[in-house]
Amino acid sequence: MSGHGDPIPMTSRKCGPLNGEAHVPGDKSISHRSLILGAMTVGETKVTGLLEGQDVLDTAKAMQAFGAQIEKIGDTWHVHGVGVGGFAEPDNVIDCGNSGTGVRLIMGAMATCPITATFTGDASLNKRPMARVTDPLALFGAKAYGRSGGRLPMTIIGAENPVPVRYATPVPSAQVKSAVLLAGLNAPGETVVIEREATRDHSERMLAGFGATISTEDTPEGHVITLQGRPEFTPQTIIVPRDPSSAAFPVCAALITEGSDVLVPNIGLNPTRAGLFFTLQDMGADLTFENMREEGGEPVADLRARFSPDLKGIEVPAERAASMIDEYPILSVVAAFAEGKTHMPGVKELRVKESDRIDAMARGLRGAGVRVDEGEDWWTVHGLGHGNVPGGFTAETFLDHRIAMSFLILGMASNAAMSVDDGQPIATSFPIFESLMGALGAQIERT
Ligand SMILES: O=C(O)C1=C[C@@H](OP(=O)(O)O)[C@@H](O)[C@H](O)C1
Ligand SMILES: C=C(OP(=O)(O)O)C(=O)O
């Protein structure tokens, strides 16, 4: 439930080299899914490395409200689930805080149970579009009643007799895909999702891990995922890998801050998530993947990022967008320190995240002296080169953690300090951001 306390203004000023190791928290996408799938499985699922950010804590609370028992003992989260189709009706409104992933996946998971639940969130989440999820959930037989424009608060009446669904997603969204797959778990027969562009595949991998029969195939129609309903789930022991979307912040900070050399160990390089790192390499970043290995069926590496004074602006391939969708705000900061233009097409989805991320970044970058051009589904940052970014501005963060972290990192290398009006949302995904960056040598203060 972020955004409920007083704003936390923060300032970041030019710092010396960033050095050392950055142990970033667990993956947010995998953390949500561990709790939700654990709650849908009879028996005890054990999770270590869970991201204890507010978004995930809100999902844990929600799963308790649907009948799962969840407790943390030592470093391990123990989830005693109720089984597929076994969710109890919550006796109060479910508050998913700031989390699109939380609310959309949970709506999917409960939509084929014979119960009713009402969902709400903070001022950011209550502006975000939910019809993208409730449209396919209606095909299973669920009903949704929300505010105009398909916004939260919203009540979902789960289907009494769910039918399986075949659905082509109209937007590239792992949240929509996952909501349909989770709903399909309690529908007898085969649920099929077709994506035009493949999005992050954590749900598919984890559903298979819990014991579902699920297959994926690339066809002329697109990326086709087929799930058999009513599986026998087996409880799992899950080690959540570290989050590449959080790793992006210390990596990018090191690239733009003079003299830096930072190691970010144990980062999952699932190809559906790693687009930013290849983009940075294309820009000429001194970024290497050390100790490449496989863990839990996923490629993992230690990322080493060193100060890169000669970054060049590039055309970011539109087909890479889904694999780096949450990383465009921090990429635009790196682009400001590169020579020449960085053009980012095919990113309409950025307009419906925790904030309109193109608008939020464009406002703050312009305030910091950087030219930005934008259209509905593209934007271009005109890089000034290292040492030439003025800074000296207070950016509005619009309840968006990634906007707040991005501008604090800009301030580490801009000529004048950068401030943000509210750093509170950082706790949704990266609660140790300030201490981790401070230990590397950053100068971030609450102001
Ligand atoms: O499925 C997920 O865990 C997520 C999917 C993405 O959202 P969309 O599905 O809206 O693209 C991403 O932006 C979000 O941070 C996490
Ligand atoms: C878009 C994000 O999260 P969510 O959609 O879960 O709110 C994000 O973390 O950048």
The pLDDT value given to residue 4: 60
CA atoms within 13 A on the CB side of 351: 11
User: Which domains are present in the chain?
Assistant: 10-26+241-446 (3.65.10.10), 28-233 (3.65.10.10)
Residues 55, 243, 326, 400: which is the catalytic one? 326
429 CA distance to ligand 2 centroid (A)?
9
**Which residue is listed with tokens 């039918």?**
163
Which residues does ligand 1 sit against, CB inside 6 Å? 29, 100-101, 173-175, 178, 200, 325-326, 349
CA distance 330 to 327: 6
**DSSP H helix total and E strand total for the chain:** 12, 23
Return the biggest CA–CA distance within the chain.
63
State the Cα torsion 325-329-335-341 to the nearest 10°.
70
Q: What are phi and psi of 426, to 5 degrees?
A: -55, -30
Q: Looking at the CA of 330, name the nearest ligand.
A: 2
For residue 174, the ligand 1 atom closest to its alpha carbon is: 9
Which residue lies with its CA nearest to atom 15 of ligand 1? 326
Active site residue 326: yes
Rounded Cα–Cα distance for residues 189 and 228 (Å) = 6
Residues 301-332: tens digit of each pLDDT: 999 999 999 999 999 999 999 999 999 999 99
Q: How far apart are CA 413 and CA 17, in angstroms?
A: 10
Nearest CA to ligand 1 atom 3: 29
pLDDT value of position 2: 42
Strand-pair partners of 77: 47, 72
CA of 173 to the centre of ligand 1 (A): 6
Pocket of ligand 2 from Cβ distances under 6 Å: 99-101, 326, 353-354, 402, 429
Tell me the C-alpha distance between 101 and 105, whole Å: 6
Taking CA atoms only, the protein residue closest to ligand 2 atom 8 is 326
Q: Which residues of the chain have pLDDT under 70?
A: 1-4
Q: Which helix (H) or strand (E) holds 407?
A: helix 401-410
Distance CA 220, CA 257 (A): 45
Reported pTM? 0.98
Index of the ligand 1 atom closest to the CA of residue 28: 3
CA of 16 to the centre of ligand 1 (A): 34
Atom of ligand 2 nearest to the CA of 175: 5
Cα–ligand 1 centroid distance for 200 (angstroms)? 8
The number of the ligand nearest the C-alpha atom of 428 reads 2
Distance CA 378, CA 358 (A): 8
Nearest ligand, CA 273:
1
- pLDDT, residue 349, reads 98
Structure tokens at 157: 């009446």
**Annotated binding-site positions for phosphoenolpyruvate:** 28, 100, 128, 175, 357, 402
Q: How many Å apart are CA 195 and CA 207, to the nearest integer?
A: 17
- For residue 182, give the H/E element and its range: helix 174-184
Contacts of 181 (CB under 8 A, 6+ apart): 108, 191, 193, 203, 204, 207, 214, 225, 227
Q: How far is the CA of 328 from the centre of ligand 1 (A)?
A: 13
- Give pLDDT, residue 279: 98
Assigned token pair, 46: 């054990």
Atom of ligand 2 nearest to the CA of 55: 6
Strands 166-168 and 190-195, sheet pairing? parallel
